[in-house]
Amino acid sequence: MTEDTLPSLNENENRPYLSIVLPALDEELTIAGCIEEINKCLEKNGLSGEIIVSSSSTDRTDEISKSLGAVVIRPEKKGYGNAYLDAFKICRGDIIVIADADGTYELKKIPEFVKKIESGSSLVMGNRTGRLMEKDAMPPLHRYIGNPVLTWMLNLAFGTKISDAHCGMRAIKKEDLEKLNLKTPGMEFASEMIIEAARNNLSISEVEIEYYRRKAPSKLHSFADGWRHFRFMLLYQPLPFLAVPGFLFLAMGFVLMVLYYLEGNVENSNIHSFILGSILLIGGLQTVLTGINIKTYSVVSGYNIKTGVIERFLSYQNLEKEIVTGIVLMAAGAVIGLYIILSWIKSDFGSLFQVTNAIAALTLFISGMQIIFSAVLNSMMLMKYE
């Protein structure tokens, strides 16, 4: 990070009450209006504050910002999250307000965010989903599908009650910000802040704000950014998103296969249902194991801690048992396969009606391979814990 103008490092010298951070990427059309609106708002409400523009711009954004008295920093790496992480290092205010520099947010509402903080909230979120949103300010895909779905998933997985999880206008106490383990470099930073706040039991409230149309082209990438948010939620909560539904599919597939196998005469009456059961079992098992692998990665990477059931599961002894289980399943599949081959030889390599046994053998063998590969991957990720 490079700083063109740094605030005084003396905490007692002209220390501002607010630090307003604006990440910027080529926002020369709107940055002046944002800074001027913030300054008017602070003056009108008797609030002291510093404006920090965290810029990776190649246009006149930096020049304009400095001419209006803002502190301009240049993050070492590009990215929405990186812009904030570098800016937070120099914030001096007791309350940190963040907002985009694209002119879409109602910055005159900053005092309402501050009042919420002063009333006991730790994190205050803007809410753009109400009647105040300007027409065509948000693409229909974002407004009616992307943002609501991702917000619903986040609320479900982390027990929050957020109306607009991806609103970039927020306020947080500096002392509470320091409790959060924030480190993501990109757009998923917006989700990370809420997730970390929820995990630290911080009180979260909302302020309804207007949302305006952009003057410059949007820099968002709908599907890529949406995937980054979903991927990050998976990193924190892979078990409810993957392991639980995967186990349900696995159980359904197992029940279907067992019932039809015991009923007999599968080739003539229920072969398609038997195949469906195999698909559900194999797919469900793979989903469960993927959830466990992601959970392991999140533990190793410091996003989660080893607690309760997951700690016992990830122990070295259990990984050994997982490998043994896989070997047993593969061996069972191989035995059934050998039986089919011997039956074929016995019939002088003639016609063979062993479809049911072949599907069962294939299902057992593939399931065993999945379990072994998952165990090996987990053991590699957990080597430093051994």
Average pLDDT value for residue range 44-73? 96
The confidence band for 2, taking pLDDT boundaries of 50, 70 and 90, is low
3-state secondary structure 102-126: CCCECHHHHHHHHHHHHCCCCEEEE
The confidence band for 322, taking pLDDT boundaries of 50, 70 and 90, is confident
Of the listed ranges 19-23, 61-65, 329-333, 354-358, the one predicted with least confidence: 354-358
Average pLDDT, rounded, for the chain: 88
Q: Which pLDDT does position 31 carry in this prediction?
A: 97
Q: Which pLDDT does position 9 carry in this prediction?
A: 41
In single-letter form, the type of residue at position 131 comes to R
If one compares 108 and 380, the residue with the highest pLDDT of the two is 108
Q: Which pLDDT does position 295 carry in this prediction?
A: 86
Q: Which pLDDT does position 315 carry in this prediction?
A: 60
User: In this structure, are residues 68 and 36 in contact, taking their beta carbons and an 8 Å threshold?
Assistant: yes
If one compares 317 and 181, the residue with the highest pLDDT of the two is 181
If one compares 66 and 341, the residue with the highest pLDDT of the two is 66
What count of other Cβ atoms lies within 10 Å of the Cβ of residue 349? Answer: 8
Whether this model's pTM surpasses 0.75? yes
Of the listed ranges 124-128, 150-154, 243-247, 311-315, the one predicted with least confidence: 311-315
Q: Which pLDDT does position 78 carry in this prediction?
A: 92
Tens-digit pLDDT profile for residues 7-41 = 444 445 578 999 999 999 999 999 999 999 999 99
Percent residues over pLDDT 70 in the chain? 90
Rounded CA separation 205/170 (Å):
10
If one compares 82 and 385, the residue with the highest pLDDT of the two is 82
Average pLDDT value for residue range 285-311? 79
For residue 158 the two structure tokens come to 């982390």
Q: In 3D, which of 193, 129, 189 has the Cα closest to residue 160? A: 193
The confidence band for 384, taking pLDDT boundaries of 50, 70 and 90, is low
If one compares 129 and 373, the residue with the highest pLDDT of the two is 373
Average pLDDT value for residue range 66-86? 95
Q: What is the DSSP string of 168-198?
A: --EEEEHHHHTTS-----STTHHHHHHHHHH
Q: What is the DSSP string of 328-348?
A: HHHHHHHHHHHHHHHHHHHTT
Of the listed ranges 46-50, 83-87, 238-242, the one predicted with least confidence: 238-242
Q: Which pLDDT does position 237 carry in this prediction?
A: 85
Average pLDDT value for residue range 342-348? 81
User: In this structure, are residues 247 and 286 in contact, taking their beta carbons and an 8 Å threshold?
Assistant: no
User: In this structure, are residues 53 and 85 in contact, taking their beta carbons and an 8 Å threshold?
Assistant: no
The confidence band for 200, taking pLDDT boundaries of 50, 70 and 90, is very high
Q: Which pLDDT does position 35 carry in this prediction?
A: 97
Given a cut of 70, whether residue 84 has pLDDT beyond it is: yes
Given a cut of 70, whether residue 338 has pLDDT beyond it is: yes
Q: Which pLDDT does position 385 carry in this prediction?
A: 57
- For residue 261, give the DSSP letter: H
If one compares 145 and 121, the residue with the highest pLDDT of the two is 121
The confidence band for 281, taking pLDDT boundaries of 50, 70 and 90, is very high
- For residue 242, give the DSSP letter: I
